[in-house]
Structure 1
Amino acid sequence: MAPIFLTPPTDPHTALSISAQANTFLSAQKTLWSSLPYPLSLFLNTESQEKWTSYENLFLALLRTGDHDSAYTCLEALTTRFGKTNDHILALQGLYQEATAKNKEELEEVMKAYDEVLQEDRTIFSVRKRRAALLRSVGKPEEAIADLTVLLDASPTDGEAWAELSDLYLEVGALEQAVYCLEEVLLVTPHAWNMHARLGEVLYMSAIKMEGGEQTKTLSESMRRFCRSIELCDGYLRGYYGLRLTTSKLLEMLRDGKKGQVATSDPVTGDLAPPSVATVKKLNQLATAKLGEIVRRGTAGEKGWDGYSEAELKAAKALIDSDTQKIER
């Protein structure tokens, strides 16, 4: 099985790469066993987890690239194998209907279908997730939040649902709740470097709206989250970008040293004292140097440095250039 089919289409480039090989993959599956009667077909059927993972990833990629006919072929194969009443298949069928809906009325029909399924069994979490995603896409984040809250009451260790709920809270401006949800994600997946960076971003957004010692404390925590993300994944551009932002802001505040501006430690609540100016300065220099290296080598397309998108590299370069211009002035 080609490795590319075992990778979920998390970005447009991956989706295009997978969907481009759809005809080759589907043709290869049309072997003699498919035309034989049951149970003879069982003896020639190549059954494996990789095969059905490939079918699902191809299905998702084809939906993203708009090849609905081929996507339906994949869905039919999955449905035949696992059955129409399988929880996961129900969610995939709903996803196909969402992708092919031509107007708001057809999306409402999909919503009714989700409601009917959940009326029969409220514990089908895959369908409830799809319902929440559909609610969000049609501009009803509050209802989507309610749906995910019900799901998490029954399944509090679902990291994916906590992450989606955090995004929804962020969408409606509830930053404190968004932070709480991301902390729950990290309880489930403590080594997810992207989630540490995401928490650092939300904390940074919260800090911008604060003043005094509370702002310093929140910025310091944001900086620590970005540090943890790059500790877990060296070369993580998003982590270094956030570290550069937070340390630059902290340097301004710590150097000013205004009364009430700098937070202090609190052993009762577990608050940590803000880092020293020397520590923040070193981290700022580290982030600057690493971002510069990523931009230089990523732009040149060097082997091992070609995983960054053009938008990421431009944003990193703009951040470095903006601070350089401040220094020159």
Structure 2
Amino acid sequence: MSEHCCSKPEPKPTQAGCCGAEPTAKKRPDFLLWGSLAGCVLLYSLYLTGLASGWLMHMAHGVFELLNTMWWGVVIGIVFVGLLNFVPQQLVVSMLGRGGSFSGILRATAAGVFLDLCSHGILMVGMKLYQKGASLGQVMAFLIASPWNSLSLTLVMIALIGLPWTLAFIFLSMVIAIIAGLVFDAAVKRRKLAANPQAPEQEAKPEPILPQLKVLWGQLSLRPQALAAVGREGLKGSRMVIRWLLFGVLLAAIIRALMPAEAFAEWFGPTLIGLLLTTVAAAVIEVCSEGSTPIAADLMNRAKAPGNSFLFLMAGVATDYTEIMVIKDTMKSWKTAFALPAIVLPQVLLVAWILNFFAV
């Protein structure tokens, strides 16, 4: 039995991997990663020791709260990325279905809904799926459907806004994810956007899943060396996401210090101006799915604006600068990165505007 978790990892592609190209011979320090990490550690420590005061304490509290909320999702995301590194590309393709097809988009959307991770953990897994050959539309549908549709957050949403609105939000987000996935794949077919260079040829049908799972199960190992390999590959594959995540945490802490979350419920009502302000707020305030859920519930319950609530959840996904930068670094294309908000945001605004007619 192999000493690795499942099988030997596949050779690294010469082009973009999960999170960008491998370091070249001229290795330079990752100032964004280490600078953001140092800033987060400093502010976290200031909050624990109580040495900060005033606006600095607000910033420190923001970092403390965000890191405590999202750490578990990031850790699980790292584990998923590490495990995916040992999963053969053919199995991933078989499970997601044929890239560029409606069934493939449906499978990717369903995978995003049922995978219980926060938005940043999902981002890591999504980029790994891209490396494993998922089509651009499948990756985007996976990312759009995922961030707050996990089982744990679904239960939280039911408690905060009730079952009917929660089910409506989930259904509408899946519809938007499917439409966006189809649009992305259509743009690739028309050569408006670049195709995934890791995608397999589409002539042959994907192989049956069950025989591949049996082979993979037979190669499974729980030895310490195998578990260490999973952690090592997960950290390596998640590095690009983590650097932007930590940077986003610092920016979010600054915004939180300047604009308390409670102000959302007072300023952003069910009007066109409220929708526009909510869009700006969702784009600027970088919060993970756990952080956005209570704010969205406030918009529903206190501002009586269901459309704004849905918009805050979904616009955060479409305009999240961490997500946009990671997509750009992974797919080597600003055009692809900015296509995400260009395709998703108009749909979200339209749905949110309609939902506000049901405001009580």
Question: Could you state the TM-score of these two structures normalised by the residue count of structure 2?
Answer: 0.23
Question: Could you state the TM-score of these two structures normalised by the residue count of structure 1?
Answer: 0.24
Larger RCO of the pair (alpha carbons < 8 Å, separation 6+): 2
